[in-house]
Amino acid sequence: MSDVNKVVLAYSGGLDTSVIVRWLQDTYGCEVVTFTADIGQGEEVEPARAKAEALGIRQIYIDDLREEFVRDFVFPMFRANTVYEGEYLLGTSIARPLIAKRLIEIANETGADAISHGATGKGNDQVRFELGAYALKPGIRVIAPWREWDLTSRESLMAYCKTHDIPVDFANAKKKSPYSMDANLLHISYEGDLLEDPWAEPEEDMWRWSVSPEEAPDTASYIELDFEGGDIVGIDGEAMSPATVLETLNRVGGANGIGRDDIVENRYVGMKSRGCYETPGGTIMLKAHRAIESLTLDREVAHLKDELMPRYAKLVYNGYWWSPERKMLQAAIDASQVDVNGKVRLKLYKGNVVVAGRQSADSLFDEHIATFDEDGGAYDQADAEGFIKLNALRMRIAATKGRSLL
């Protein structure tokens, strides 16, 4: 007899997780609870209910988490201007802690003693799901089928379905994109197939959310973003919820060829991985946020944030969202955002995001001091001489002691 009585599975309704349902039932003799999250992947999630019912599932959770995802995960991450390895806006990474949180909540609600996911043993997602689960419920058991079974290809999964009478649309399964794809409100990612050759250029018909810059309109689009506490609260004067903000920016960004990226990144498990990403809304958000911070943040606060950001990004990428160090960094980042309020005007043109203007009642920019014209004595230029000499003192002393830098 298995010591697992009930398991909560992160269930997409696709081929992999449908096989996992039956495999869990057969291998562990346990009851399976399915959980399907709507985090803006752009596909209907309700059909997962019928698929789960056809597999004999009695407890089915289908949750709309779009607002929570953007409000409590995407926005806090963007307050830090988070970019992993200089390019990746962490679209997949930031969704995993929310899914892990909800898996644990459902396990608690249903009395399950295990959770399960469809992440492979080669990727980062297994780490992200499981670190989050253990942080939130230390005694939970995690079942990761890809680390246990001997099914290694789509063909073997479809054969398993036929053998075990799992209802799958085989015609559609065979027509499925050759790429491994993950989508949510922040991005869509592509891996596998020809992308496994870092020299190969992605096919144009791979991209789903954006036109190519060459096909983007010949006339620029202008948008104005309203910020409060470092978050976007409205577009073009219209107040919007967090999810609506990101949906709107994805739409206008994608129409202007914005947000495509092709990256070779360093996975936490040790290998390099090539992936392509579409993050139109996130690309716009990052540019706009840095623009409003340029007006409102103190210089040393801004520079300290930039020093902390790579560490914060690595924590999110590696799955440590639910860690004390991320919580500590978040407190510092959020404290910096109190005065990050105002408006940013952007020009979107053929893949480019250009800042066209920024304004804030909390601006630290003083035109009377910064002007090249007469400043009325606001800044005494003679003060600069002593400032420069004091800052040069250590180098002057070293030079008089014969320490040449040439």
Catalytic positions, written as ranges: 16, 96, 125, 180
Element (H, E) at 143: strand 141-143
Given the DSSP bridges, would you call strands 260-266 and 238-239 parallel, antiparallel or unpaired? unpaired
Instruction: Report d(CA 51, CA 12) in Å as an integer.
Output: 10
43 neighbors 185 (Cβ within 8 angstroms): no
180 neighbors 190 (Cβ within 8 angstroms): yes
259 neighbors 353 (Cβ within 8 angstroms): no
Tokens of 124: 């980062």
Cβ neighbors of 358 (< 8 A, separation 6 or more) are: 291, 292, 294, 295, 342, 343, 344, 345
* Percent of the chain as helix, strand, coil, to the nearest 5: 45, 20, 35
Instruction: Report d(CA 226, CA 233) in Å as an integer.
Output: 6
**Which has the closest alpha carbon to 342: 358, 364, 357?**
358
**Measured torsion, CA atoms of residues 73, 76, 78, 79, in degrees rounded to the nearest 10:** 180
Instruction: Report d(CA 13, CA 16) in Å as an integer.
Output: 8
Residue 347 DSSP symbol: E
Place of tokens 């606001």: 378
